[in-house]
Amino acid sequence: MTPKIRILIADDHGIVRAGLKTFFMSSPDIEIAGEAGNGLEAVEKALALRPDVVLMDLVMPGIDGIEATRRICQEDSKIGILIITSFAEDERIVSALQAGAMGYLLKDTSPQELEQAIATIYNGEAYLPPNIARKLAHQVNKPPAGGPRASKLTPREMDILKLIAEGYSNEEIARQLYLSVQTVSSHLWRMMKKLKVENRTQLALYAVRQGITRRSS
C-alpha cells in the first residue's frame, strides 16, 4: 500500500482545525499527524512528529506562521510547509517563501486544490497557484549585489524559469515545451546549482524578483 501523507494542522482557530480534520478523515491518502494552536506549538509539534507537510496559518499567537516556518525549515528541511491564510499581500507571500514555505494558498481555496497542493509539496515540488504567482510578479526587485545572475542560464533554462515563475508544475512545463518530465527535472537541478538556491520555490521567487516572466520577454 502507498503510505499516507502525514500532515500537521497549525491554526489558532479551533473551528478551522476541526473543519480540516473532518475533511481529511475521509481522505484515503492523507493522515492527520497532529495539530497546533499557535506558532511555538507548531514548531514543537513539527519537530516532534516530523510530518510530511505542515498546513501553516500566518497569524497566530506567540510567533507568527512566517517565523514558525523559518524555525522548522532550519531544523528539518524535509518538512514541507504549505501556508494557508486569508492574507494575500505581496509582502507576506514573499516573506513566507523566503522563510522556506513551499506553497501558499488562500483559505477560500477548494478542497480539491488543497489536496493537490499537499500532494505536490509531498513530492518535493513547490505549489504556487496562478493567482499567487501573478501577485508575486508585482514584486520585481533588483537582485543582491554580486549575486548569481540569470545570464548563467541557457535559453532552454530561461524558458523553464519563466514558466516556474507563473506557477506551472513540472508536468505542465514538460507539455508546453515538448520535453520529458525527467528532462525538466534535470534542468531544474542544474538551474538551482547555477543560481545557488536550494529548492524549486526559491527558483520561482528568484525569477519573480528579477521580473523574469513570459510577459517580460
Lowest mean pLDDT among 63-77, 110-124, 145-159: 145-159
**CATH pick for 150-216 out of 1.20.1440.230, 3.40.50.1980, 1.10.10.10, 3.40.50.150:** 1.10.10.10
Query: In the chain, what is the greatest distance between 2 CA atoms, to the nearest angstrom?
Result: 51
The 10s digit of each residue's pLDDT in 50-66 is 999 999 999 998 899 99
In this structure, how many other beta carbons lie within 10 angstroms of the beta carbon of residue 202? 18
What is the separation, in whole angstroms, between the first and last Cα of the chain? 46
Backbone angles phi, psi at 126, to 5 degrees: -75, 155
In this structure, how many other beta carbons lie within 10 angstroms of the beta carbon of residue 89? 11
Whose cell is 522563510? That residue is 99
CATH of domain 5-127: 3.40.50.2300
Q: Which residues contact 18 (CB under 8 A, 6 or more apart)?
A: none
Residue type, 195: L
Backbone angles phi, psi at 111, to 5 degrees: -55, -35
The 10s digit of each residue's pLDDT in 122-174 is 988 888 887 777 666 555 444 444 445 667 889 999 999 888 877 788 888 99
The 10s digit of each residue's pLDDT in 15-55 is 999 999 999 988 899 999 999 999 999 999 999 999 999 99
Per domain, the residue ranges of the chain are 5-127, 150-216
Cα angle value 170/171/175 (rounded, 5°): 115
Share of the chain above pLDDT 70, in %: 88
Q: Assess contact for 81 and 100: CB atoms under 8 A.
A: yes
